[in-house]
Structure 1
Amino acid sequence: MRKWVLAIAMIAAVPTAAMSADADAGKTVFNKCKACHQVDKNGVGPHLGGLVGRKAGTVEGYNYSEALKNSGITWDEAALDKWLQGPAKDVPGTKMIFAGIKDEGDRANLIEYLKTLK
């Protein structure tokens, strides 16, 4: 019985937006990112192909801020969600100038889309 209560508590702790995230909707949210980021090559910002699971500040050929290179972040869902709420708040000193995405569902959808990029 105890195991069931723990399992139910763990499921209840998962954010609803993450449970219903939609990569197709995230592709639309990605339009906000396209001014600086591409999937397969560096531009104003580093490319985002293979982002999920990668250590922050490690794309070859991109000149990152010292703050991001030394952040210790590995891009998983939780780190991306925090970052996307406001990069400068998450890592003071970052070069990324972006106000963030306030809507939790939009962030979850964008993260789901980013997970598809190889």
Structure 2
Amino acid sequence: MRWLALAAAVSLSACGTPSAPGAADTGNVALSGCAACHSLSADGARGSGPALSGIVGRRAGALPDYAYSPALKASGITWSPQTLDGFLADPGKVIPGTRMMTRVPDPAQRKRIVDALTAQ
């Protein structure tokens, strides 16, 4: 359990950090914190979270080489900008039982992340 708390602390500090106001964001800045747990390329090594490349339009829990939580696999969600925004705002509320613990409470930061994921 201790490693889980440490992973959550790292994720919260990394993924919740917004880019500088007015900074040009090509997606790398918006997703840089997510890379602490997720691969950002389709052929990237898996971390504690699944690869994010091509997530928009993909059914939740669909990557064959990642061990998703039963809750995520059974969610029936297909990722869209709207479902990603809600999930990032409060993963446990959208999918009770998910292993994703990182919340992104700032709507502007969520938009940057979702826009970057949509552009992949």
Same fold (TM over 0.5): yes
CA distance in 1, matches of 2:107, 2:26: 13
Checking the alignment, whether the CA contact within 8 Å between 1:26 and 1:106 is kept in structure 2 is no
Q: Which has the higher contact order (CA 8 A, sep 6+)?
A: 1
Rg larger for: 1
User: What is the aligned-residue identity percentage?
Assistant: 42
> In the TM superposition, what is the alpha-carbon distance from 1:57 to its structure 2 partner?
0.3
Structure 1 segments of 4+ aligned residues over 6 angstroms from their partners:
none
Normalised by the length of structure 2, the TM-score is 0.72
Structure 2: tracts of 5 or more residues without a match: 1-22
> Residues 8-63 of structure 1, C-alpha deviation per residue, up to 9 Å, x if partnerless?
xxxxxxxxxxxxxx982643231221110011232211101100000000012000
Alignment of 1:38-77 (within 5 A): 38-40=39-41, 41=44, 42-77=46-81
Checking the alignment, whether the CA contact within 8 Å between 1:25 and 1:109 is kept in structure 2 is no
Q: Give the SS at the match of 1:95.
A: coil
- Which residue of structure 2 lines up, in the alignment, with residue 36 of structure 1? 37
| Number of equivalences | 95
Normalised by the length of structure 1, the TM-score is 0.73
